[in-house]
Structure 1
């Protein structure tokens, strides 16, 4: 199990914005994942995603990674933001886009690892 948790940790830390979802942003496989991905897309900035349905190990172990039992899961700057409801609420009140912009800016400011 530790291998998959290390892989999740690497994904979360190497992308300024990543969503673990059922399906893909273009072909979501559940309504919650669809709405969360739409909110991210509406912000107009790139984000990474992992289709948990195509990776059973991630599907089984992600809930224990950040102690969050449901999907989708949105991470910004390596921190769990939350699921669909929190993502939508942050989008609707104008908090999501500035948070994503700040995450991208912080990623650009990181020194290159050798």
Structure 2
């Protein structure tokens, strides 16, 4: 295996990932929050060769402890120069206001 196949940035990211893994300084940023993450959507067993990163980055997997939030786990990389955050969804358009009710000709609303 030759390091020539990797860019300088990929090698530096890997070194930083390893250092942070040992020091455990930063909270984990999960790959599910990245636009480049592609979940397994096919039927059947997930093959060993499956990589959810569309760029093929090596990821780690954190399994939540039984007493943790079940969503506190998943694929992650401590540092990834290719991370692309998923943009927040557009706010919903306001619903049009209904037109006031119309009565019969000559009818006027009364206040009670």
Normalised to the residue count of structure 1, the TM-score between the two structures is 0.25
Normalised to the residue count of structure 2, the TM-score between the two structures is 0.26
Q: Which has the larger radius of gyration?
A: 2
Structure in which a larger fraction of residues adopt helix: 1
